[in-house]
């Protein structure tokens, strides 16, 4: 099978770790020239890992929610590799979990919305014209199952991700006729730097087997599993997929939270 992103230039934000790093590595394996972007210096480690495996990559540091940085990022992709075909707007923050809903401040909300929602808007604003001018391609934004309904994250985080889902739907209409597709991937609980405290806490308490227990697969996800979905949505295999939000969550969002009766005959024995 030929490399699915051969000849493509792809930007990945939030590429210093987790889903972003896994995606940058996978995209390079599939033939893409990668521009890895993050505010953390560890993004250079991602680019080095791509090159160590024979791929082409450059690393750029900056703020995903700052327009000047995103505009410069798009320009870097074109100056380094001569084009831009794919943009994965993956960078995001939780904003911390300080108490409950009423403990959050307007400043907490503003920062989460700036990075998680304005950031993807800026990606679309600056990447779409460049992608159009290079013959078309695709944009992908990381939302979350937390954007579908309550119960999967702090309020400000969940609201920002709900906004991303609507953003890609709105943008798909605005991009009609440009040759630029846009979709969102909605991870469920996935082991990344963002969720590390949860995982470490569960392991320290001897409760690692309870991670992801609310989804039908009864486990959390891995960054590589989200990266695989991102690869599909950005590749030509998804050429007729546009304006869609794909949940990659072990089946969590297929149901409202519920307990499984002990006597359920359809429940597999443990």
Domains of the chain are 9-250 (3.40.50.720)
The model's pTM is 0.90
The predicted-structure confidence for 60-96, as pLDDT tens digits, reads as follows: 999 999 999 999 999 999 999 999 999 999 999 988 7
pLDDT score recorded for residue 267: 56
The predicted-structure confidence for 234-268, as pLDDT tens digits, reads as follows: 999 999 999 999 999 999 898 876 555 555 555 55
Q: Say whether pLDDT at 270 is over 50.
A: no
Which residue is catalytic, options 11, 138, 157, 181?
Answer: 157
- Least confident residue range of 72-81, 103-112, 158-167: 103-112
Cα–Cα distances in angstroms (integers) from residue 212 to residues 6, 64, 193, 228, 235, in the given order: 35, 29, 17, 19, 29
Question: Whole-number mean pLDDT of the chain?
Answer: 90
- Give the Cα separation of 165 and 212 in Å (integer): 23
Q: Is 157 a catalytic residue?
A: yes
Which strand ranges, in their side-by-side order, compose the sheet holding 137-142? 57-61, 33-38, 9-13, 86-89, 137-142, 180-187, 245-248
For residue 71, the Cα-to-chain-centroid distance in whole angstroms is 19
pLDDT score recorded for residue 198: 58
């Amino acid at each position: 099978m030929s490399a699915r992103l051969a000849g493509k230039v792809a930007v990945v934000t939030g590429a210093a770790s987790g889903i972003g790093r896994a995606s940058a590595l996978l995209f390079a394996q599939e033939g893409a020239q990668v521009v890895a972007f993050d505010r953390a210096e560890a993004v250079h480690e991602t680019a080095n890992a791509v090159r160590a495996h024979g791929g082409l990559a450059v690393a750029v540091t900056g703020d995903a929610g700052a327009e000047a940085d995103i505009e410069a990022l798009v320009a870097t992709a074109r100056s380094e590799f001569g084009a831009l075909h794919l943009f994965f707007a993956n960078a995001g923050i939780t904003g911390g979990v300080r108490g409950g809903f009423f403990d959050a401040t307007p400043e907490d909300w503003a920062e989460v919305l700036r990075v998680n929602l304005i950031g993807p808007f800026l990606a679309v604003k600056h990447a779409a014209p460049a992608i159009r001018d290079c013959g078309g391609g695709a944009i992908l934004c990381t939302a979350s199952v937390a954007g579908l309904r309550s119960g999967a994250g702090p309020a400000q985080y969940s609201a920002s991700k709900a906004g991303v889902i609507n953003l890609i739907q709105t943008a798909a209409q605005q991009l009609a006729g440009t040759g630029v597709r846009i979709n969102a991937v909605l991870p469920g609980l996935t082991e990344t730097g963002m969720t590390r405290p949860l995982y470490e806490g569960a392991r320290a308490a001897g409760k690692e087997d309870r991670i992801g227990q609310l989804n039908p697969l009864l486990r959390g996800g891995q960054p590589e599993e989200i990266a695989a979905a991102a690869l599909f949505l950005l590749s030509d295999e998804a050429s007729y997929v546009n304006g869609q939000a794909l949940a990659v969550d072990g089946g969590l969002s297929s149901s409202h939270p519920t307990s499984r009766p002990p006597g359920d005959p359809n429940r597999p024995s443990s």
